[in-house]
Amino acid sequence: MRKLLLIPLAIFALIVGFALVSKAQNKTGGESASPAATLYADKCASCHGTSIDGGSAKSLASSDYEFAKTNTEIIQLVKDGNVEMGMPGFAATLTDAQILDIVEYAKSTPTMNKVTPATDAPRIADDALNFETWVSGLDTPWSVEFLGPDLALVTEVKGDLYQIKDGKKLDNPVENTPEVWASGQGGLLDVAIDPDFADNGWIYLGFSHPVKSGSDKAMTKIIRGKIIDDAWQNEQVLFEAKPEHYVKARTHFGNRIIFDEDGHLYFSIGDRGQMKQAQDITRPNGKIHRIMRDGSIPADNPFVDNPKAYASIFSYGNRNPQGLAYADGRIWATEHGPKGGDELNLIESGKNYGWPVISYGRNYSGTELTPYTHKPDMEQPVSQWTPSIAACGLDVVRGDLFKDWEGSLLAGALRYEELRLIKRDDGAYVDETILLKDRGRVRDVSMGPDGAIYVVMNSPGEILRITPKTKGGDTQE
C-alpha cells in the first residue's frame, strides 16, 4: 500500500460511544454539531482525541501530513486502512466527500496545547538561604499554623494537636481533641485559624473521621473549636459527609483549609481511592468545597440548587488536593497525580478538573490510565509535574524578608523531598526554582509572622525555618 502524508497511525478508528456522547450533549441545550464534527466523533475521536488534540494516535489538525499529500491519496488511505498502523479501512462506511469533510473539519479546528511538565527545575545557590531546625522530635507532623509571633499549632497524624511556644513543643498535646481514623493516609490533618482569630479565637481542624467509633469506614470532616486552658472546647461541626458516603479505604483524604476575604472557607477532600466518584457531585470526595466560616452554605455555590448534590461543592474532578492557597482573589491548588500528572490548578466555581477522565499520569503499574489529556468542559492544569513530585503543601510568599519573591507560590514535594518556588504572572505559570532538597519529605509550608518560611518535614519529624542570607553569610532579618 502506498505511504501517504501525515494521517498518523490509526486514523478514523470506529467508535460509536463518542457519537452517543455527542448526541447527548446536543440534547442539553448546546449547539448542534456539524455533520463533519459528528462523523469525526463517530469514526475518529477514540484514537485522535475528542478535541482534535490527539489521543492514542496523533492529532489530525496538522496541515503537514506524513503519509498523504493529495486529497486522492488521503481518500485512498482512509478507505484502505493500514494494518501495520492498526488503522481500519472505512470504504464501506465513508464516502469520498465525507472523508474530505472530516479532514477539513480537523484542520480548521484549533487544538488544545498540552501542558509541558515542570519536574526539572534549577536549584537556588546553597549560599542564598539559611536553614535552621525550628522544632524537632515531632511524630509525623502534618500541618503548622501560627497563632502569634511566639505561638503555633502543629498537627500529628496519629491524632495529637500540639502547641509550640517560643520554638519548643509543649510536653502534652491539647486535651479533648476529636477521635481520628489514623490509618494509611488518614489521621489528624490540617489546622487553620480564623482570619479574625484575635477577636473570636476559632481554630479549624480537618481530619479523617470514622463513621462510628472503631469502624474502618472514614471520610474527611471539618470542625472548629477553641483552645481554653490547654483543652479543645466549644466544638462545632462544619462539614460531615452522609454516613452512606463513608469509604472503606486508607487513601486520599485531602485535606487543606483556607479562607478568602469574603468570609468563605475552602477545604479539599481527595477521591478516597474511588476515582470515578470524583466526577459525581452527589458524592463529597474528589472535590474542593466552599462553606461560610460557621458551616453554612454560600447562596452562590455552583450546585446549591441541585437537590442531589453536596451543596458545599465548589469544584470537582480533583484527585487528591493536598495544597491550597489564596492569593489576589484566586484559589490555587496542588494535587497528587497517579504515576505522573501532579497538577497546579487555578480553582474556579463549578469547574471540572477532569480526574479520572483526563490526566497526564498513568496507572502505578505503568499501564495507560486514560488516553486523554483534554476533553471539552474539563479544565487544564496551570502546570503539571511528570514524573510526580508528590505535591503537598502550598502557601504564598508575603512580607519584607523575601521581597523579591512577593506573591510567588511555595509548593512542597514529598517524593522529591523539595520545596519549590513557583513564579506566576497574575493567573499564569512562569517558572519554578528548587529552594530545598533532600532534607526530608515536605508535608506543609507556611509563611510565619516573622516573614520566614516554615517547612513541615513528615520525616524526620521536624519543622525547618528558612531565611535569606546577606552577602556576608549572616541571616537577613
Q: In this structure, are residues 417 and 439 in contact, taking their beta carbons and an 8 Å threshold?
A: yes
Amino acid at 247: V
Give me 332's grid cell: 490555587
User: What pLDDT is stored for residue 104 in this prediction?
Assistant: 84
Residues recognised as catalytic: 252
Number of helices followed by number of strands (H, E) in the chain: 6, 24
pLDDT, residue 371, reads 87
**Residues 170/156, Cβ–Cβ less than 8 Å:** no
Per-residue pLDDT of the chain (477 residues; tens, 9 = 90+): 333 333 343 433 433 333 333 333 333 333 456 888 888 888 887 777 666 666 656 667 665 566 777 888 888 888 888 877 778 889 988 898 988 888 887 777 666 788 999 998 999 987 899 999 999 999 999 999 999 999 999 999 999 999 999 999 999 999 999 999 999 999 999 999 999 999 999 999 999 999 999 999 999 999 999 999 999 999 999 999 999 999 999 999 999 999 999 999 999 999 999 999 999 999 999 999 999 999 999 999 999 999 999 999 999 999 999 999 999 999 999 999 999 999 999 999 999 999 999 999 999 999 999 989 999 999 999 999 999 999 999 999 999 999 999 999 999 999 999 999 999 998 999 999 999 999 999 999 999 999 999 999 998 999 999 999 975 445 445
Residue pair 430/424 in contact by the 8 Å Cβ criterion: yes
Cell of 140: 509525623
Q: How many CB atoms lie within 10 A of CB 229?
A: 6
Distances (CA, A) of 405 to 301, 398, 427: 33, 8, 16
Listed in order, the ranges of the chain carrying CATH 1.10.760.10 are 16-108
For residue 14, the model assigns a pLDDT of 33
What proportions of the chain, in percent to the nearest 5, are helix, strand and coil?
15, 35, 50
Pairing between strand 129-135 and 462-468?
A: antiparallel
pTM of the model: 0.81
Residue ranges, CATH 2.120.10.30, the chain = 126-468
Beta bridge partners of 468: 129
> Which class would CATH give 16-108?
mainly alpha
> Would you state the pLDDT for residue 41?
83
CATH superfamily of 126-468: TolB, C-terminal domain (2.120.10.30)
- In order, the DSSP letters of 90-155 are -TTT--HHHHHHHHHHHHHSPPPPPPPB-----B--GGGEEEEEEE---SSEEEEEEEETTEEEEE
DSSP for 167-189, please give it.
TEE-SSPPBTPPP---STT-SEE
pLDDT at 467: 97
3-state DSSP call for residue 83?
helix
- The pLDDT value recorded for residue 306 is 98
Q: What does 194-251 look like in DSSP terms, one character per residue? A: -TTHHHH--EEEEEEEESSTT-S-EEEEEEEEEEETTEEEEEEEEE---GGG-B--SS
Residue 458: closest CA among 445, 442, 446: 442
Predicted pLDDT of residue 19:
34
